[in-house]
Chains A and B, each alone.
Chain A
Amino acid sequence: MTETGLDGPLTQALVGTRRFFTSAEVSADLRTMHAKGGRKGDAFYRDRWSHDKVVRSTHGVNCTGSCSWKVYVKDGIITWEAQQTDYPSAGPDRPEYEPRGCPRGAAFSWYTYSPTRVRYPYVRGVLLEMFREARHRLDDPVLAWAEIVGDPAKATAYKSARGKGGLVRSTWPEVTEMVAAAYVHTVKTFGPDRIAGFSPIPAMSPVSYASGARFNELIGAPMLSFYDWYADLPNASPQMFGDQTDVPESGDWWDAGYLIMWGSNVPLTRTPDAHWMTEARYRGQKVIAVAPDYAENVKFADEWVTTAPGTDGALAMGIGHVVLKEFFVDQQVDFFVDYNRRFTDLPYLVTLEPGEDGAYRPGKFLVAGDFDNAEQSSENAMWKPAVLDERTGEVVIPPGSIGHRYGDEGLGKWNLELGDITPALTLHHDKFQAVEVALPRFDSADGSLSHERRGVPVKKVDGHLVTTVLDLMLAHYGVERPGLPGTWPKGYDDPSVPATPAWASQICGAPIEQIIRLGREWAQNAVDTGGRGMILMGAGTNHWYHSDQIYRAMLVLTTITGCQGRNGGGWAHYVGQEKIRPIMGFQHLAFALDWVRPPRHMNQTAYWYVNTSQYRYDTFSADELNGSTGVFAGKGTMDLLAQSVRLGWTPSYPQFTRSSLELADEAGERGVPAAQHVVDQLRSGDLRFAIEDPEAPENFPRILALWRANLLGSSAKGNEYFLKHLLGTDHAVRASEAAPEQRPTDVTWRDEAGSGKLDLLMTLDFRMTSSTLFSDVVLPAATWYEKHDINTTDMHPFVHSFNPAIAPPWQSKSDWDTWKEIAKAFSALAGKHLGTRKDVVAKPLWHDTPEAMATVHGRVLDWRKGECEPVPGKTMPVLVEVERDYTAIFDKMTAIGPLLEKVGMLTKGVAYNVQREMDILRSRNGEARSGAGAGQPRMETDIQVAEAIMHLSATCNGHLATHGFKALEKRTGTLLHDLSAEHEGKQITFADTQAAPVPVITSPEWSGSESGGRRYSPFTINIERAKPFHTLTGRQQFYLDHDWMMGMGESLPTYRPPLDMARLFDETPVGEQNALGVAVRYLTPHNKWSIHSEYQDNLFMLSLSRGGQTIWMSDLDAAKIGVRDNEWVEAVNRNGVVAARAIVSHRMPEGTVYMHHAQDRLIDVPLTETNGRRGGIHNSLTRILLKPSHIIGGYAQHAYFFNYIGPTGNNRDEVTMIRRRTNQKVEY
């Protein structure tokens, strides 16, 4: 036994004397001393943690974290922030949401008083001087602006100064007048569609998003999309699910039995949610990490699958081969069979067309209108695909297709209830006929096309030779069945043909045994757990040119095994997928649909592909880029884009070669409807789409406003082309333009590409960024601790608020207040210069409307070629004439317009009557007393906007949710409204969100259910309530039969390697060395110490990280070019130059470098050796490569909606040369 006591006799003796020196009582055992008083020193420590106030807010940063924070204010100064802990419970038997928050968020308060804070309105000095002079002389700001931008010398003077400093302080009245004058002049001279606004990710702060969006849409200027532009939009989702993106919340990871993190580095990019992943492992979950490098998430995984970058599609097909063979052919699993019969297109019949080589080609879906059946002459008969009823042997039409979704006959029939029908998944029975089909493969090094001939069982239906999607898929995956002709693999270890494990292994590098094991475990887990297998898909698999194919191959795994629409199952696409849960209210108010419809929505990738003239550097045909299938032979990607625009598939602004206001005037003079006038003019050739002559000055974009956005520091793929053509300043473009024979044929080629197209670049921000450096006007914005707003994401089913801890300091203003100021100044100037005008809006054919039934069988007919008549809304864009009172923009912006009551609200095909909500808002927000909005609910303050958004969204308004479900029930004929019944009386108000994060309500706006407090998982309503997907068949669709999809060889998910940049662009093949260093694949993944460009300039993050621009490379590559850790390197390709420091690490694979994206040009960017100019940013080495399948429209799920579908700003196929700088002493 140990003796108790102090440390030793000496201590004992010393402490024993204490009682002689103190009046305090020393305990008998000498361990404690009891003194009275003497606590004055406590005051300091109490004061350290006493504050004026503690305010709830969050960070409107694009990170999906949605962490609520306590912001502390002391003596009127924001001191720091700490994590909130009052989230709703995730449930009684699972971990909770907190702890939430990461080091980046915890460092935010630094920005409030940081040296890079924008404190005052700034204007480029040379521009401001000219404006003041002209304004004084002409006594009219609009004429002053017109003079400056109209004078080439003056315009060049300020445009060429962009990015070179010289911003000077202005005042709010002066700067708003100048900006308003620019808007008025541009609307008047060129038309409102020459203006654009860009702000991303409304979910992170919808009120702020709505501020500028509402102004832009009210004047008729397009808002630019972000999801596709960021390359975050997985086009596989609209293609397969008919849904933009819907994913499980992070709390649902807990429910999964098997979790694959595939290109998603959860602890790094989803830091506050990563705890779920580690917790779930204690529940027995198996975790797999697929990553080319030893990424942060790998150490959490049970297994690490290393793949070569960009080859994930092959891996997915290899796994799929195992699943299909062992669980669909070797045995039949009831769970899978039932699921696929009801919820996928596997049983649907596809016609086969004979090819010249004797083999058949997969063709179109067999639809009701194609053959003799009961529904042959029914409404929308060409939109109702068919299946074979296994029970009767007859070909029948199941309910639930897009043909049932619209029209009176489909009422009550748009559902997935099969009734007596038992769809046959395959035609492969005891007796069958078989033919050979030629299936495309692209797995050669250069990605070129070859064909594999394999047999499928067939049947004749009314003269059509048909087979099922599953039969095609089995052939495509090389899964042999008895009695079928063609070349089949000899076994799993046969690498010669797709899609065996050996074939996949040879491409992606993962061992064959691992691929087989993954396949077996994945499928068996689905069987054992009822579909609780989940794949977290990340940017590593999604930012490729062919990522839609990679994703489709991965989605085959989650879908055929019945994992979609399950808690703990399915795809979890975690790439910029923020979800604005109250989407209906947000959408209608942000895009001013309460005042004028339709809005102008633009896909941003195409916008910049055209307007930064990047199309002029495409030195290959669209066909070559896409694997030489022949479908696009002789056409440039630009030709396809122009075609897509004129067929009404995808939007394009500027619209036409003349102002849209002018066209309305002309129609008025002619006395014909505007749409008729435009069609006539287009047909005669007097009028063209602006995209057909983009270098004509009248077709330039003139004004771009950025708020909550850092285009030039973060997302601008082809940064140097932006600088050259859009801004007209110094740049590092090294590529040359296409030779005459490579140029687009349908688009006018002017010898001189535009330079300095943009007249005004304006940025609202609270910190200096690459974008503000290039802006002509920089306005000081309030930070996230200085304004009211709300915040939601898809990873958490709650809504919470921003609140000002302090008033916006210096001269900063909230975005809402800033745009109100601009609107006020604009409305005042419009009185003299604009008045009320008519505007012709061209809008593409929209998804979730009957317009999506424009292209029967996906057969492309071009009116320009005389293949059909130009019919607005059918074979070309919808053309609508609207009226805009430009003097009333401010009035309209600050009141909710009458259309919500008169026409109602419409979201994802469900119509709502919101008279009740408008009356409540009249009481809650008050009525506008005068002006254009008199009698309408007010929306003057940010809180009023937030209230309106939440009252007009079913996710926050239980009454509206039930109302919407009841409306939907009429179409589906099934029970749905019970899903939200428990919350019918609930209305989330702004005050609620201030008190604590509030759980949202199950709503028809989304596909999952939170009813009864369950975790959100997408498509649970579709699966559990038989509600169709918004696709052609109404099922999750593997087979895509649009002409372009078939032409590209992508009807079925297939592996396509990364683009061969050596062949396309004459870059050096990866691994080779020359005077410029070594050629490497250039990836730009997320940074651990920032959220995009936010925080990378934050002192705390700079201290925690190395700070400044860096490029990660492997020790092997570093040795090749003799570079040591932290030395300066220079990366050069045709697109530009980057000078950065090297981080040499063995965690990187050979042949690949990482430059973490969005390292702004403000921190440690020296002059380059290559051209002596300031080095670029990560996007200086990238450029836009547009994939034609993303601009298909007018065909069921392939139909446009804002951020729903669109060409991606992908960037991962890029390569670069990298070398050590000869001079390590850099200059700045």
Chain B
Amino acid sequence: MNTFLFVILPYICLAIFVVGHWWRYKYDKFGWTTRSSQLYEDTLLKWGSPLFHFGMLGVVGGHVIGLLLPRGWTDAMGISEHTYHLFALVGGLIAGAMTVTGLVMLVYRRRTVRPVFSATTVMDKVMYLLLGTVILLGIWNTLASGVFGLGGKEFSYRTTVSPWFRGIFYGQPEAALMADAPLGFQLHAIAAFLLFALWPFTRLVHVFSAPLGYLTRPYIVYRSRAEHVARGLGNRSPQPGWERPSLDTSGTS
């Protein structure tokens, strides 16, 4: 069972995540969108959206540090366990609070503002449910483990969950590392992978289209035609089967 949940499922989900994005990009390029509802309402959105999105950036950053950086590296940098813990806890809770507040506002807005609700798809609803579950489980884990110290002493995810997670990318995931983790962590991980599997089919694809380039883009962009080899007249490249009139002016044929 553990092998399925913590080895097979992650790979299936990641496979869907990767192939799904490729498929979506290829076949639904014009559906690759945030499905923005800003036109319908922006008073709530003005606060909810930045809270959620910047909170989320913090959460993702926290996960990068927590999951991808091996404990040895921080030790080597001379960061004590206590410092790390304090930083992770405080940072995590602030980011978590922002994310949850933002999410609650956005969900409230989505449900109560009629035009926005009308523009909500079933996929949106499923995605919100899963995303909310993952976020709430994550916060619960942080609180339960780091603040309330449930289960006696704090659970050291950096020696269990993180190596397991990294193992997935090495190709050597060890289910056993997750087997003893608290239920909250297990559920968080499973829900998160399910979310990855759903990801390509939702509006979450916009994560990969964040318009970072806008920050540095001059106001007007000109694109001249690409030069075609042996191009004829007009702005299309020569099509097979047709001889194009040539611009060759040498006079011979």
Contact = CB atoms under 8 A, between A and B. Distances in A.
Residue with the greatest number of chain A CB neighbours at <10 A, chosen from B215, B223, B225: B223
B1 interface: no
B59 to A, nearest CB: 26
Contact of B218 (A27, A38, A39, A44): A27
B216 interface: yes
A14 B216 contact: yes
A41 to B, nearest CB: 9
B217 A34 contact: no
B219 A32 contact: yes
B224 interface: yes
Interface in B204-253: 215-227
A18 B218 contact: yes
A21 B225 CA distance: 21
A35 B216 contact: no
A26 interface: yes
**Interface of B, helix, strand, loop or mixed by DSSP:** mixed
A1197 B225 CA distance: 73
B30 interface: yes
A235 B209 CA distance: 70
Given A38-B226, A39-B223, A39-B226, A32 B216 contact: no
B246 to A, nearest CB: 22
A430 to B, nearest CB: 82
A37 B226 contact: yes
A30 B218 CA distance: 6
A34 B224 contact: yes
Contacts of A32: 218-222
Contacts of A27: 218
Given A14-B215, A44-B30, A35 B220 contact: no
A667 B104 CA distance: 94
A18 B224 CA distance: 19
A33 B215 CA distance: 14
Nearest to B226: A37
Given A37-B225, A38-B223, A39-B223, A21 B216 contact: yes
A33 B226 contact: no
A39 B225 contact: yes
A31 B223 contact: no
A17 interface: yes
B220 A37 contact: no
Contacts of B220: 31-33
A460 interface: no
Nearest to B30: A44
Interface residues on B, range: 10 to 19
A898 B227 CA distance: 68
A34 B219 contact: no
Contact of A33 (B222, B225, B227): B222
A547 to B, nearest CB: 47
Contacts of B226: 36-39
A995 interface: no
Interface in B37-60: none
Contact of A15 (B30, B218, B225): B218
B218 A35 contact: no
B223 A37 contact: yes
A35 B217 contact: no
B216 A15 contact: yes
Nearest to A20: B216
Contacts of A38: 223, 226
A942 B112 CA distance: 58
B19 to A, nearest CB: 23
Nearest to A42: B223
Nearest to A39: B223
Contact of B217 (A15, A36, A39, A44): A15
A1161 B49 CA distance: 47
A1103 to B, nearest CB: 14
Nearest to A37: B226
A625 B7 CA distance: 94
Contacts of A21: 216
Contacts of A30: 218
A34 B218 CA distance: 10
A1195 B30 CA distance: 72
A35 B222 contact: yes
A275 B223 CA distance: 41
B125 to A, nearest CB: 25
A377 to B, nearest CB: 85
B217 A33 contact: yes
A18 B216 contact: yes
Contacts of B219: 6, 31-32
Nearest to A43: B236
B224 A33 contact: no
A26 B220 CA distance: 10
A256 to B, nearest CB: 45
Nearest to B216: A18
A27 B217 CA distance: 11
Contacts of B217: 15, 18, 33
Given A14-B215, A21-B216, A33 B30 contact: no
B30 A34 contact: no
A19 to B, nearest CB: 9
Nearest to A19: B216
Interface in A20-75: 21, 24, 26-27, 30-39, 44
A31 B223 CA distance: 14
Nearest to A7: B219
A25 to B, nearest CB: 9
A21 B212 CA distance: 12
A533 to B, nearest CB: 50
Nearest to B221: A33
Interface in B175-227: 215-227
Interface string B131-144: 00000000000000
Residue with the greatest number of chain B CB neighbours at <10 A, chosen from A30, A31, A36: A36
Contacts of A31: 218-220
B235 to A, nearest CB: 9
Contacts of A14: 215-216
Nearest to B219: A31
Nearest to A6: B219
Contacts of A6: 219
Contacts of B215: 14
Nearest to B225: A39
Interface string B75-108: 0000000000000000000000000000000000
Contacts of B223: 35-39
Contacts of B222: 32-35
Contact of B224 (A15, A17, A36): A36
Interface in A1019-1054: none
B138 to A, nearest CB: 33
Residue with the greatest number of chain A CB neighbours at <10 A, chosen from B215, B218, B223, B226: B218
A17 B221 contact: no
Nearest to A30: B218
A883 B216 CA distance: 89
A384 to B, nearest CB: 76
Interface in A1166-1187: none
Nearest to B218: A33
A26 B227 CA distance: 20
A819 B175 CA distance: 79
Contacts of B227: 36-37
A39 B235 CA distance: 11
A35 B221 CA distance: 7
A354 to B, nearest CB: 79
Instruction: Enumerate the 9 nearest inter-chain pairs by beta-carbon distance, A residue then B residue, closest first.
Output: A37-B226, A18-B216, A32-B220, A33-B218, A34-B222, A35-B223, A33-B221, A14-B216, A14-B215
Interface of B: 30, 215-227
Given A18-B218, A35-B222, A37-B224, 5 more contacts: A18-B216, A24-B221, A35-B221, A37-B226, A38-B226
23 contacts: A14-B216, A17-B216, A18-B216, A21-B216, A26-B218, A30-B218, A31-B220, A32-B220, A32-B221, A33-B221, A34-B224, A35-B222, A35-B223, A35-B224, A36-B223, A36-B225, A37-B224, A37-B226, A38-B223, A38-B226, A39-B223, A39-B226, A44-B30
